[in-house]
Amino acid sequence: MPMLEEEIRQIMADETARLQAAPDLAERVMRASRGRRTRARVAALATSVAVIAAAPIGYLTVGSVATTGQEPTISAMPEPPAIDDTPPVPSKPRELGDLGDGKEFGQVKVGYLPERLRWSNWSVDFGDRYSTSYNFDGDKNSFYCVQIYMYEEAAVQELDDRIQQYRDEGDGEEVTIGDRTGYLVIQHVGEDGMKGTPTLFLRMGDRQRAEIMFSPTYAKEFSGAEAVSAELKRIAEGLTSTR
Amino acid sequence: MSGVERDFSAFVAARATSLLRVAYLACGDAAEAEDLLQTALERTYRSWDRVRHDSPEPYVRRVIVNAAISRARRRAILSIIPMHSPPERSARATDVDLRHVLMEALRALPPRQRAVIVLRYWEDLSETQTAEVLGCSVGTVKSQASKAMAKLRSALGRESAEGVIRNAHA
């Protein structure tokens, strides 16, 4: 093996040797899991929460082992750290309302959708970012087939930054959709090992962008990546701004 | 304690430290690594009936790595982490600094490239196994690994840095 790889391996070993998982980790995981189930069942358990918060639950700080080499310190923490991608009590975002056939929402019109797809009755509205999706049965609880996420005004920068990251990584390709430009890429957004989310980012003027996504499951219905890309481009071609 | 809880506890006791190290290398931060590991284990525990019959460790590793990539992208970490230059001081004086520089260079890699390096050279996964974890093709793994190594060489300055690393371990 080339030298640099061996040295990287050695330095990674040195760097992580100090790390030890907390002995009570399994217990904390199971407790958090039970807590999550409880929260889902009961909307408000103010009394219980107060009791839990007051209980002296020991939380091991692994970092303290790492830096001092001494016994782990225990600090009283009422709950495990907040998990940013699975918030325990998600607040329900606003929706876009009844979109009818779903072919016009926010400030955009959908001119083309693949066969058999219909509006899923699901939408979300964060103001300058909003989205809806399409699936086979129109059930908002079914998995999505196609999702269109719109970014406007200040939110445009967020999307442009994300596209730039893909460019920097050499991931994806520039595409032309009529007289507009776009970026085609497979996104890996935490599908836990699935084949990724085929996505086309479309520039719709200075202050409007669209992110058109195929679910990894839906993408399997097509003959291959080229067919998926072609369909994404057709959707993009039919997308028009009503701003 | 139920049978499921005993099973799960035994797995965590046996593999959590190893998985914590993967999480740390994937995200570059000890506190976030703990959070990633706990998140991954919570997801695993919820699916334990299904997962335990196969091999839980690859499942947890996959959740960790994909969550690390997802978080890094969401937070746009790449845009705020400065690239480091190779140290200009003498080798002996920079044992600790050099390790820091390399770890910072690893952190500065785009998240998927960093994940490829961790899975290939820390977890010793093959290119095929790495592709399975990341949900991409073997060709993508090869190209991402190649780009990552080129960036590490560039960030470290291959000629001087490798000599310094050798001294650091001498």
SS3 sequence of A16-64? HCCCCCCCCHHHHHHHHHHHHHHHHHCCCCHHHHHHHHHCCCEEECHHH
* pLDDT digit string, tens, across residues A45-90: 333 333 333 333 333 333 333 333 333 333 333 333 333 343 333 3
**Residue written as tokens 């980012």?**
A201
| Ranges of each domain in chain B | 1-75, 82-170
Nearest CA in chain A to B114: A169
| Res B54 pLDDT > 90 | no
Query: What sign for the dihedral angle of Cα A162, A168, A171, A177?
Result: positive
* CA separation, residue A41 to residues A31, A37, A82, B5 (Å): 15, 6, 20, 21
Read off the pLDDT band of B104 (50, 70, 90): confident
| Total residue count of chain A as it appears in this document | 243
Summary mean pLDDT of chain A: 76
- Radius of gyration, alpha carbons of chain B: 18
Instruction: Tell me which residue has tokens 């993009």.
Output: A236
Nearest to A25 among B16, B30, B112 (CB): B16
Structure tokens at B123: 């977890």
Test mutation, A192, A195, A201, A217, chain B, max B CBs within 10 A:
A192
Chain A, nearest residue to B100 by Cα: A15
Percent of chain A with pLDDT over 70: 71
CA distance A21 to chain B (A): 5
User: Cα(B113)–Cα(B150) distance, rounded to whole angstroms?
Assistant: 11
Q: Are strands A129-135 and A118-125 parallel, antiparallel or unpaired?
A: antiparallel
Q: In chain A, which residues have their Cβ closer than 8 Å to the Cβ of B72?
A: none
| Residues in a beta bridge with A132 | A123, A148
pLDDT of A109 higher than 90: yes
Distance (Å) from the alpha carbon of B91 to chain A's nearest alpha carbon: 15
Q: How far is CA A7 from the centre of its chain?
A: 34
- Which of B7, B34, B35, B63 to mutate to test binding with chain A, by most A CBs within 10 Å of its CB? B34
pLDDT at A217: 82
Residue B12 is predicted with a pLDDT of: 92
Q: How far is A100 from chain B (nearest CA, A)?
A: 32
Class of domain B1-75: mainly alpha
- Residue B163 in this model has a pLDDT that exceeds 50: no
CB contact under 8 A, B25 and A12: yes
The pLDDT assigned to A132 comes to 92
Which residues of chain B lie closer than 8 angstroms to A190, CB-CB? Answer: 66-67, 69-70
Are B38 and A83 a contacting pair at CB < 8 A?
yes
Hey, what are B42's tokens? Answer: 């919570």
Nearest CA-CA partner of A232 in A139, A110, A138: A110
Chain B residue numbers touching A66 (CB-CB < 8 A): 30
Question: What are the helix and strand counts (H, E) for chain B?
Answer: 9, 0
- Contact between chains at A188 and B134 (C-beta distance less than 8 A): yes
Residues B167 and A131: their CA atoms lie apart, in Å, by: 55
- Cα A59 to Cα A29, A63, A75, A119, B97: the distances in Å are 12, 12, 6, 46, 31
Contacts of B166 in chain A (CB under 8 A): 7
A144, A122 contact by CB (below 8 A): yes
From the list B20, B66, B76, the residue facing A19 with the nearest CB is B20
A183 touches A171 (CB < 8 A): no
Which residues have a Cβ under 8 Å from the Cβ of A142 and sit 6 or more positions away?
A120, A135, A136
Mean pLDDT of chain B: 75
The reported pLDDT for the residue numbered B121 is 84
Q: Kindly indicate the confidence band of residue B162, based on its pLDDT and cuts at 50, 70 and 90.
A: very low
pLDDT digits (tens, 9 = 90+) for A140-189: 777 789 999 999 998 898 788 888 878 887 889 999 999 999 999 988 65
> Is A32's CB within 8 Å of B165's CB?
no
* Domains in chain A, CATH or no CATH each: 3-76 (no CATH), 104-241 (3.40.1000)
CB pairs under 8 A between A and B: 159
Record: contact A8-B67, CB cut-off 8 A: no
State how far the Cα of A115 lies from the Cα of A201, in Å rounded to an integer: 21
Please check whether residue B155 is in contact with residue B100, taking contact to mean a CB–CB distance below 8 angstroms: no
Residue A63, pLDDT score: 33
pLDDT for position B152: 83
Cβ contacts of B131 on chain A, cutoff 8 Å: none
Q: Is residue B11 a contact partner of residue B54, using CB atoms and an 8 Å limit?
A: no
What is the longest distance spanned by two Cα atoms in chain B? 58
User: Residue A31 pLDDT > 80, yes or no?
Assistant: yes
Indicate the fold that domain B82-170 takes in CATH. Answer: Arc Repressor Mutant, subunit A (1.10.10)
pLDDT range class, residue B74, cuts 50, 70, 90: low
Asked whether the beta carbons of residue A170 and residue B102 sit closer than 8 angstroms, the reply is: no
Q: What are phi and psi of A59, to 5 degrees?
A: -130, 120
